[in-house]
Structures are given as C-alpha cells and as structure tokens.
Amino acid sequence: MSNFIPALNHNSQGLFTSLLSKERLRIFGYIRALVPHNSDAEDIYQRVCLTLWKKFDEFDQERDFFFWACGIAFYTVCNYRRSIQHDRHFYSQELIETMSQKREQQLTNYNLRLELLHDCLNELPPEDRQLLQNVTLKNEPLKEMAKAANRSIQTLYNRLSLLRRELADCISRKLQSESQA
C-alpha cells in the first residue's frame, strides 16, 4: 500500500472538511459501538478518516456522507478485527454486523434528536436552562452552584435528574409526533 495521500482540489477539500466535521461524532460513535476499547476506536477512526480522504473523489454527493463513512468504518473495523484475532476481548464478526446495523439505525435520527433537544430546551424556564448549561457546558461544580443559590447539593442533583427526564420525555414525544406526521 502506498503512503501517498492524494490531494483534493480546493472545493473538494472544503466539502470534505465540512462533511467530516459535521459527522465526526456520529462516525466515532458508530465505531465505538463496534469496538470494545476506546483506544482501538480512536485508532480505527484515524484510519477511517484517512480512507475517507483518499476515496473522497469516489463519494457520490447524492448519497448520505454519514452512511458512506459508516460503510468504510465497518470494513475498517472488520479488517482491524482480523489483524488482532488473537485478542479474545474483541467482538465476533456476527456481533459486529448486528451492532453495526443497530447503531446505524440509532444514529439515523441523531440530527433530528439534536434539533428536538434544542426545541425542548427552549421550552424550559430560563433558570432551568441556565442550570443545565452551567453543569453540562461550563462544567461548573455543583457544590459552588448550590452555595451561590443557597440550596443544597442534593436539591440541585434532584432538579438536574428531573430536567433530564423531562428533556428525554419531550424528545420522545416530539419524535413520536414526527413519525406520525
């Protein structure tokens, strides 16, 4: 195999970069679902990105980039698995195929679920949205937040738990209404 990495023209580079950056988390999530170790998934992800780059001129832009990438990822995982067959902690080929199909189904509506999450977040009162943002995006310690709000840590844990359930229920309702429409 040649170490030569083909150069893409400027327009193709931009499109490739845009598509990969949009789908990188889903592609890695797909790979991670098929591989028992995170470090192996990271290695495979790098190989997949390189293969996607090398084969990008073969990509049919009428197709979905994510599913094209998953096809390449699937074969990369299979090849990786064959190369380390001595590792008894690696999944069987049949299990990889089953998990691959399930994970593709789950990730199919990932972008829709993100949009619905934003809708559901916007339906929350501002103080609840702020609490979630402080914890999830800003990584603020709950102890400090509780002290600043003059509330117990347990109260904040309980509120966060309730908010996460409400968001999950909201997303499920919206998904159900989307599928019925």
Q: How many Å separate Cα 50 from the centre of its chain? A: 19
Q: Is the pLDDT of residue 120 over 90?
A: yes
More confident residue, 164 or 139: 164
Percent of the chain topping pLDDT 70? 88
Give me the pLDDT at residue 86, please.
59
Average pLDDT for residues 5-9, to the nearest whole number?
A: 59
Give me the pLDDT at residue 55, please.
92
Domains and CATH numbers, the chain: 10-108 (1.10.1740.10), 111-180 (1.10.10.10)
Q: CA–CA separation, 151 vs 171, rounded Å?
A: 29
Give me the pLDDT at residue 2, please.
47
Q: Is the pLDDT of residue 179 over 80?
A: no
The secondary element (H helix, E strand) that includes residue 32 is helix 10-34
| Number of helical (H) and strand (E) elements in the chain, helices listed first | 8, 0
Q: Is the pLDDT of residue 116 over 60?
A: yes
What is the rounded (10 degree) CA torsion for 42, 45, 51, 52?
Answer: -150
Q: CA–CA separation, 20 vs 126, rounded Å?
A: 33
Q: CA–CA separation, 144 vs 53, rounded Å?
A: 45
Give me the pLDDT at residue 1, please.
45
